[in-house]
Chains A and B, each alone.
Chain A
Amino acid sequence: MRMSPAPTRASIAIVALVTTSAALAHHSFAMFDQSTTVTLEGAVKEFRWTNPHVFIEMLVKNESGAEEQWSIEMTSPEHLARAGWRPATLKPGDAITLSIHPMREGIKGGQYLSGIGPNGPLVGSRFAPPEPAR
């Protein structure tokens, strides 16, 4: 696991009323640390194609070599399908490298940013694919 600073986001001029949330206004993504980007390398345990949000459950080896499960949250199946994703895009055992914003509270989870799967970069991300560790 490697950590790197997130891209700087330009400040936004607030024009009017009420901040709400990301995605389909399901809820805020405030639990993810938007200032930190982490690269995870491991294998898919399960690709949970569920509403309201899809999750990649992946197994990552920690520094002592033990496997830990991470839950990586994406947007909804509706949004992902439009971007070219399908329930079979990832399968258990697939080697993947993901770029995420981690949970603030130390829980092994994060917000999906981009990734590399068995067939190359995963589709639809607005972020550059992660660079695998050397």
Chain B
Amino acid sequence: MSSRRAATAAAAALLVGGCDARVDRLPDWSGQWENVGATPSPDGGFYESLEQVLKELEWSPPLKPDSQAAIDRVVEIQRKAMAAMRDGIDPGGAVTACTFGFPTIMLESPLMFEILPTPKETALIFSSREIRHVYTDGREHPPEGDVWPTPWGDSVGRWEGDTLVIDTVAVKSAFPGRAGSAVIAFGGIEESQMIAFLSADAHFVERIRMLDNGLLENRMTITDPANLTGPWQMTRTYRRETHIDRMVHEDCEGEERNPIVDGKFTLTPPP
């Protein structure tokens, strides 16, 4: 085969399902990205108050009355837990996790991530070493009976020009003991909340594109008939990292020096 014919064959092989998905037409989303508004500071807290974060998160799910009542009950319990935590008491509800799962990891995660578009699949790789696989080769979700809920769900996608449209189903909470997939809002210290109520039948559609100012925009629509009266829409933006040019991983299993002793977190000397 001549080099020209080989190149033609290679290019043809990259055309996927009739979609405009050649390598040279994929957008350049290289680098590391962080969620605007969920950027941690060296003290371990976040620059914005939780109130501001929730405002930016467009926290207004169209809840069904039963769902609202269930959340209200838990809110009362958690208010007491937050007060106890501020007094230095471990209320037994603290989450220890390096896994965020979807949709939290896109909505309110302090993790940086990379996006690797290829013609047949786009991978989103996070510093927690979580990976979202978005298949863009024209396939559909697996049929019922062949798919089960996971913290990251099952994602298929397509390119509409330079916009990546991701369709995700079969999501469950990444947090042990929490029912439903979660949305987390961070703010200050001891002001973060985990909002976990979406059912495993929830359906997520994301539209990710680059804005003129260089930010990536993610417009997410969630439908969940078990809990919501209609679609819940949120928009988040991501910006490129400027102080680092490669991935740095998190590791929850590292040198942990904050054990719980007599019901309270403490600090141990260096090993």
The reply to whether chain A is a binding partner of chain B is: yes
Using known A-B contacts A48-B270, A53-B257, determine if residue A74 contacts B44 with beta carbons closer than 8 Å.
Answer: yes
Contact (Cβ within 8 A) A75 B43: yes
How far, in whole Å, are A125 and B18 apart by their CA atoms in the complex? 50
How many pairs, one residue from A and one from B, have CB atoms within 8 Å of each other in the complex?
Answer: 232
Chain A hits for B187, CB < 8 A? 12
Contact (Cβ within 8 A) B195 A18: yes
Q: Mark B95-119, 1 if CB is under 8 A from A, else 0.
A: 1111010000000001110000000
Does A103 interact with chain B (Cβ within 8 Å)? yes
Highest count of chain A CB atoms <10 Å: which of B74, B190, B194, B257:
B190
Does B140 interact with chain A (Cβ within 8 Å)? no
Using known A-B contacts A10-B49, A18-B78, determine if residue A51 contacts B250 with beta carbons closer than 8 Å.
Answer: yes
Contact (Cβ within 8 A) A73 B267: yes
Minimal beta-carbon separation of B48 from chain A (angstroms): 9
Minimal beta-carbon separation of A33 from chain B (angstroms): 7
Highest count of chain A CB atoms <10 Å: which of B194, B267, B270:
B267
Chain B hits for A84, CB < 8 A? 243
Chain B hits for A103, CB < 8 A? 266-267
Minimal beta-carbon separation of A59 from chain B (angstroms): 13
Q: Mark B142-179, 1 if CB is under 8 A from A, else 0.
A: 00000000000000000000000000000000000010
Q: Mark A61-95, 1 if CB is under 8 A from B, else 0.
A: 00000000001011111111111110000000000
Contact (Cβ within 8 A) A124 B75: no
Does A13 interact with chain B (Cβ within 8 Å)? yes
Contact (Cβ within 8 A) A24 B110: yes
* B interface with A by C-beta (< 8 Å): 32, 34, 39-45, 47, 49-51, 54, 59, 71, 74-75, 78-79, 81-82, 85-90, 93-98, 100, 110-112, 127-128, 178, 184-197, 241, 243-244, 248-258, 264-267, 269-270
What 6 pairs between A and B have smallest CB-CB spacing? A51-B254, A51-B251, A23-B44, A75-B44, A19-B82, A50-B255
* A interface with B by C-beta (< 8 Å): 9-10, 12-31, 33-34, 46, 48, 50-53, 55, 57, 71, 73-85, 103-105, 107, 109, 111-114, 122-127
**CB-defined A-B contacts under 8 Å, sample of 25:** A12-B188, A16-B197, A17-B196, A18-B78, A20-B184, A25-B95, A26-B96, A27-B258, A28-B94, A29-B189, A33-B88, A46-B270, A51-B252, A52-B250, A53-B257, A73-B258, A78-B112, A79-B41, A79-B110, A82-B34, A82-B248, A84-B243, A123-B42, A125-B43, A126-B43
